[in-house]
Amino acid sequence: MDFLNAIVLLLNYLFVPALSYGSQLAMGAIFVSLIYGILRFAYFTAGDLMSFGTMFTILFTWYFQSLGINLGFLPTALLAIPFGIIITILYVLLKDKLVFSYYRTQKSPPVMLAMVSIGTMFVTQAIVRIVIGPFDRRFFDGEKFILKANEFKEMTGLNEGLTIKSTQAITLVVTVIVVSILFWFLNKTKTGKSMRAYSDNEDLALLSGIDPKKVVMITWIIAAILATIGGALYGLDKSFKPFTYFNNMLPIFAAAIVGGIGNPFGAFLGGYVIAFSEILLTYAYKKFFVYLLPENLEPDGLLQLLSTDYKFAVSFSILVIVLLFRPSGIFKGKVL
Amino acid sequence: MRKNLDVISAYSIMIGLIILVGFLQSWSMALSILCLCLISAVMTMGANIQWGYAGLINFGIMGYTALGGLAAVLVSVPPVQEAWQAGGFNMILCAFLIAFMVFSIRFILKKYSKSKNRNYGIGAIIIVGLILLRLISAPAIESIEAVDPATTGFLGGMGLPILFSWIVGAFFAGALAYIIGKIALGLRADYLAIATLLISEIVISVIKHEDWLARGVKNVIGLKRPVPYEVDLQSKQWFINLVEKFNQSTLNLITNTLERQEALKQLVIESSTVFVKLCFAGLFTVVVIILLIITQKALYSPWGRMMRAIRDNEEAANAMGKNVVKQHLLIFVLGSAIVGIAGAMMVTYDGLFTPGSYRPMRYTFLIWVMVIVGGSGNNFGAILGGFAVWFLWVEAAPIALFMINFFTSGLEETNAFRIHLVNSIPYFRFLMMGIGLLLIMRYRPKGILPEKIKRI
């Protein structure tokens, strides 16, 4: 029984939160990785593009709420996400047309494009803050929990409860759907294959008649879709604050690099690597060992490897370690 | 003279703008803009050395700035005796332990050839070392932080004049840059940018959360100044006389003695803040000029030519027998050290150290905007960039207010859209920075004052 309690404890405080956080990171990491692979620059607007998409999702959510439309026990935001995606797609395509396409035709070095993406980062951040303000906003409605701690305790008779928030479940389901569609698209369809070919070897891809304009456009569209969905899920799960989104850029980059930048599948797994290590290293294991060990061996301290303040630092340290020993990332991305 | 015309005119416009602020808003405001412009100029010079001379991207500026600030605290605050008694011994022990770990790992790396056993050995040293560190430091940290937590709760510093910290800050930042350079300099450009950005975040989170070091987010306030305090000035006779002399004409208009006394008092209070800021500005100008002379000398020396050769064609420079890795590391350390000086200067100017305020937007990306806008590879350009961008950053709010009022003048005062825009004025500075950066990168990619290479 104690053993089961210990397992449920870990599931509740470690596994479920890490899984949903990891999925949200993975969404971001995949599109950063794709942009790196195909457009060949570090896209510093990543976090702010996510906040841009989330902002429009929130605005549409409010609009639907004012009309009285809702999805019952599901959050209204799910209905608003497609509209948010459309606006974000228009925004990135406009940005590409006005800003990035010039540097592509000039064949500028990647550093130049990265700098330009810092410029668009400033602009995007300004737009978000001017339109919706810098405040913390919650836009979740509908049923909050799928499984409450008390219900779980009654059901199983264990001491420890297991809580599953509906946002966590939604995050998982949506991630599975989106990511499988994405990988099906990249691996099976003609456009997806041409994108991978373009990423592997640009000159050869151009010789075999792949239209670079189309590849670039599809990349931006995928980026906008992933950014909006990932951002909206993160906002549903926690809350929407532009500054947090900007900061999320850092673990997203860490995930993309750890997974091997330019390799979307690696980035997907990288998101989970970062999320799990962040939570595993900052969790206090005292209660877990109280359940497992006999009473006379019970630990005194919290058994926390690192204080929770260092959450971000953990993911960056992993990045440094990966850089030292496997510069191309765990799953072999581009060699840099 | 003619060939420097662009530099002279650009700087005259800049100084003119600051003087205009003095007339339109207030002299105190104009001088604080000037002081922060000078600090920004030091930072951009550091970044410019790395980016303009050697083509290295360093997005870790925030980390070095914070380390410089930490140096200011550690140098100027008097030591907290009780805290040292409570946990000083253990902390020194920890420092020795870290040093021992580093040296033993270096020893193993040198002595044994690459093998699995060597890796296990290093891993064991690190793990055992970390556990020991934790065991030794945990009780010490607890007792240090328990010493009067409302005011101290940290080890304190050395109690030296704060000006020393400008040099110490440079050493701190340089040391960090050495470590980062060893880890990350082999990476490709944009990869290096991300790595340095993330490492600087680690530095900030350590400073934020290790309360025994510099109180963490509880902030250290009331740092000693290298210049006189306003309150002291206001009671000094020579200062009052000086103010009286300067404002003779306005004071003579007032005939009533009592009113005259009042007016003088008001003037003295106002001038004292201006005087303090003038002192700061003078100190900062000295630093900027010294750095400018050194960097200009370096740029046109054989060493500077070698750096440009390395930047423009690494392989060719390598083939000529130049040690690219070593030079990259050297310039990385030098540039970061300059940024460290700026960090210490900034904390000196503010008189307080607030780790929570170090954010990448303000301390990394804004500095990069300055470097790009000003002109990379040209020291005068970098300084100008620091001035222009900081000026715009501060004055963005009034400009935005003016623009909004101008464009929405057709709408009523109570119009919801207009009120919303007026409320979000502070964020227009991001918009201006972004658009400014994009325009410069598009139409003048080498910056306002582009790099000039003397042909010999």
* Nearest partner of A138 among A226, A77, A66, judged by Cα: A77
For residue B339, is it within any domain?
no
Q: Tell me if A268 sits within 8 A of A329, measured CB to CB.
A: no
Mean pLDDT, residues B132-137 taken together: 84
* Nearest partner of B65 among B315, B303, B385, B349, judged by Cα: B349
Do the Cβ atoms of A41 and B369 come within 8 Å? no
Mean pLDDT, residues A40-69 taken together: 92
For residue B67, is it within any domain?
no
Q: Residues of B with CB below 8 A from A127's CB?
A: 431
Residue A59: domain span? 2-325
Q: Which long-range contacts (CB under 8 A, 24 or more apart) does B439-443 make?
A: B440/B372, B440/B373, B441/A112, B441/A115, B441/A116, B441/A119, B441/B372, B442/A99, B442/A102
* Nearest partner of B278 among B250, B239, B222, B237, judged by Cα: B239
Q: Tell me if B189 sits within 8 A of B57, measured CB to CB.
A: yes
Residue A309: pLDDT band by 50, 70, 90 thresholds? confident
- In chain B, the percentage of residues whose pLDDT exceeds 70 is 99
For residue A171, is it within any domain?
yes
For residue B451, is it within any domain?
yes
Q: What is the pLDDT of residue A284?
A: 79
User: Which amino acid is located at A15 in the chain?
Assistant: F
Mean pLDDT, residues B278-293 taken together: 94
Mean pLDDT of chain A: 87
CA distances from residue B273 to B22, B32, B244, B267, B387 in whole angstroms, order as listed: 14, 10, 16, 10, 22
For residue B207, is it within any domain?
no
Residue that finishes a domain, picked among B105, B126, B155: B155
Mean pLDDT of chain B: 87
Q: Tell me if B63 sits within 8 A of B198, measured CB to CB.
A: no
Check CB contact of B180 with chain A, cutoff 8 Å.
Answer: no
Residue B381: domain span? 360-456
Question: Which residue of A130, A250, A306, A307 to mutate against B (max B Cβ within 10 Å)?
Answer: A130
Check CB contact of B442 with chain A, cutoff 8 Å.
Answer: yes
For residue B160, is it within any domain?
no
CATH number assigned to the domain comprising residue A41: 1.10.3470
Q: What is the pLDDT of residue B62?
A: 94
Counting the structural domains of chain B, the total is 2
Question: Which residue of B430, B433, B435, B440 to mutate against A (max A Cβ within 10 Å)?
Answer: B430
Q: Residues of A with CB below 8 A from B208's CB?
A: 309
The DSSP secondary-structure symbol of A304 reads B
Do the Cβ atoms of A115 and B441 come within 8 Å? yes
Scored b (16 or more CB within 10 A) or e, B241-256 reads eebeeebeeebeeeee
Residues 51-70 of B with CB under 8 A from A: 57
Do the Cβ atoms of A313 and B206 come within 8 Å? yes
Mean pLDDT, residues B179-198 taken together: 83
For residue A201, is it within any domain?
yes
Q: Distance from A300 to chain B by nearest Cα, in Å?
A: 13
pLDDT in tens, B402-440: 888 888 887 777 788 888 888 888 899 999 999 999 999
Q: What is the pLDDT of residue B159?
A: 85
The DSSP secondary-structure symbol of B301 reads S
For residue B376, is it within any domain?
yes
Q: Residues of A with CB below 8 A from B52's CB?
A: none
Q: What is the pLDDT of residue B278?
A: 92
Q: What is the pLDDT of residue A332?
A: 63
Counting the structural domains of chain A, the total is 1
For residue B443, is it within any domain?
yes
Residue A335: pLDDT band by 50, 70, 90 thresholds? very low
> Is a pLDDT exceeding 50 seen at residue A142?
yes
> Is a pLDDT exceeding 70 seen at residue A37?
yes
Q: What is the pLDDT of residue B145?
A: 81
Do the Cβ atoms of A319 and B198 come within 8 Å? yes
Q: Tell me if B352 sits within 8 A of B220, measured CB to CB.
A: yes
> Is a pLDDT exceeding 70 seen at residue B258?
yes
Q: Residues of B with CB below 8 A from A124's CB?
A: 434
The DSSP secondary-structure symbol of A164 reads E
Q: What is the pLDDT of residue B343?
A: 94
Do the Cβ atoms of A42 and B205 come within 8 Å? no
Residue that finishes a domain, picked among B108, B127, B155: B155
- In chain A, the percentage of residues whose pLDDT exceeds 90 is 42
CA distances from residue A313 to A63, B132, B282, B396 in whole angstroms, order as listed: 39, 21, 39, 34
Residue that finishes a domain, picked among B123, B155, B187: B155
Do the Cβ atoms of B445 and A112 come within 8 Å? yes
> Is a pLDDT exceeding 50 seen at residue B358?
yes
Q: Tell me if A49 sits within 8 A of A274, measured CB to CB.
A: no
User: Which amino acid is located at A5 in the chain?
Assistant: N
Can you list the alpha helix ranges (DSSP code H) found in chain A? 2-10, 16-38, 46-67, 77-95, 101-105, 110-132, 149-156, 166-188, 190-200, 202-207, 212-237, 242-258, 264-282, 286-292, 311-325
